[in-house]
Amino acid sequence: LTKKNRFAEAESLLNKSIEVDAANSQAYAALAELKLKTKAAPETLRALLDRIRALAFKPDASLWTASAALERALGDSAAAKTSLKNA
């Protein structure tokens, strides 16, 4: 969907995937990529980063990488480096 620039539809499906399976790390990672690609506002990126950080399960490499990308976009290079090391 993102290749066809159908971003709203992609976001809706990703959010539904997360609702169905709150441990769907791939959906969170894809949602982060989508938000970055569409140049979402910093508040939106921060909210998604907070959601990822609050997950009750252990993050996998895709979530650490998504966190690093969000942190870098928000100007927190130190946190981004730490997240990449954890990936």
pLDDT for 87: 87
Spatial contact of 25 and 63, defined as CB atoms under 8 Å apart: yes
What tokens appear for 37 in the block?
Answer: 């690609």
Q: By percentage, how much of the chain surpasses pLDDT 70?
A: 99
Rounded distance between C-alpha atoms, residue 66 and residue 53, angstroms: 11
The H or E element spanning position 52 is helix 42-53
CA distance readout (Å), 82 to 11, 47, 48, 75: 27, 19, 18, 14
> Model-level pTM?
0.85
pLDDT digits (tens, 9 = 90+) for 29-69: 999 999 999 999 999 999 999 999 988 677 789 999 999 99
